[in-house]
């Protein structure tokens, strides 16, 4: 069995501004760095054999925090990068609506078919996310690993593991620095935990008090 701690990166500056990030880079905010530190402590006692990450800095910086207590070097995989959002990247929902009409609302209703110009479909993201997972699983046996990725990528892995359709995309929540746990036994994954965030309790209040 291989156990995967599948986590989302900490909050970024653009997350705080409700901007669509996609393939563009946005640095971790002060809160995001604090979340990454909490995540690191939460996983410090887990016997991690490896830590994998998206190459985008928000995921890589979070992964570095996770890997540090274990003395591991982070392995980046391009297939773990966030969903490409094309012309929406860098824009808020209001700005997208002003420029392109009610496409955000339509995507909420039909996430599979409404794709931003120059962006990726959910099926394309799921294909590469599962390709990355297969590569990771092929490198380990009877081990526990961490994978630090993004909201959309994590959802694609979870939906596949649950045997759920892509139309259920919005029914899964992925908070910043949230933890999912998936066990893989051959071709039969078992989802044990989804979006665990108890390790982040009061982190925002503590950060505000420190500042």
C-alpha R_g of the chain: 17
Q: pLDDT-based confidence at 208, cuts 50/70/90?
A: low
Question: Contact 170/35 with Cβ under 8 angstroms?
Answer: no
List all residues 6 or more positions away from 149 whose beta carbon is below 8 Å from its beta carbon.
6, 7, 8, 9, 53, 54, 59, 80, 82, 129
List all residues 6 or more positions away from 4 whose beta carbon is below 8 Å from its beta carbon.
133, 136, 144, 145, 146, 147, 181, 182, 183, 184
Q: pLDDT-based confidence at 188, cuts 50/70/90?
A: confident
Domain boundaries defined on the chain = 2-210
The pLDDT tens digits of the residues spanning 43-95 come to 999 999 999 999 999 999 999 999 999 999 999 999 999 999 999 999 999 99
**Catalytic positions, written as ranges:** 9, 82
What are residue 94's phi and psi, to 5 degrees?
A: -65, -45
What does pTM read for this prediction? Answer: 0.95
CATH for 2-210, options being 3.40.50.1240, 3.40.50.10800, 3.40.1710.10, 3.90.180.10: 3.40.50.1240
DSSP state of 121: -
Evaluate if residue 102 carries a pLDDT over 80.
yes
- 12: helix, coil or strand? strand
List all residues 6 or more positions away from 14 whose beta carbon is below 8 Å from its beta carbon.
20, 21, 24, 26, 90
Evaluate if residue 209 carries a pLDDT over 70.
no
Q: pLDDT-based confidence at 203, cuts 50/70/90?
A: confident
What's the pLDDT at 192? 97
């Amino acid at each position: 069995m291989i156990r995967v701690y599948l986590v989302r990166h900490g909050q970024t500056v653009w997350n705080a501004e409700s901007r669509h990030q996609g393939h563009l880079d946005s640095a971790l905010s002060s809160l995001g760095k604090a979340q990454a530190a909490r995540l690191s402590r939460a996983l410090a006692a887990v016997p991690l054999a490896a830590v994998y990450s998206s190459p985008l800095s928000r995921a890589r910086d979070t992964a570095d925090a996770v890997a540090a207590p274990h003395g591991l070097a982070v392995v980046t995989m391009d297939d773990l990068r966030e969903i490409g959002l094309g012309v929406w990247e860098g824009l808020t929902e209001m700005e997208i609506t002003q420029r392109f009409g009610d496409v955000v609302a339509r995507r909420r209703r039909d996430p599979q078919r409404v794709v931003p110009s120059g962006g990726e479909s959910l099926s394309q993201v799921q294909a590469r996310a599962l390709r990355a997972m297969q590569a990771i699983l092929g490198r380990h046996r009877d081990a526990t690993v961490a994978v630090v990725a993004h909201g959309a990528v994590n959802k694609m892995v979870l939906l596949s593991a649950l045997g759920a359709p892509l139309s259920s995309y919005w029914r899964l929540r992925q908070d910043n620095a949230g933890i999912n746990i998936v066990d893989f036994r051959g071709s039969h994954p078992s989802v044990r935990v989804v979006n665990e965030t108890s390790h982040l309790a009061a982190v925002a209040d503590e950060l505000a008090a420190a500042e």
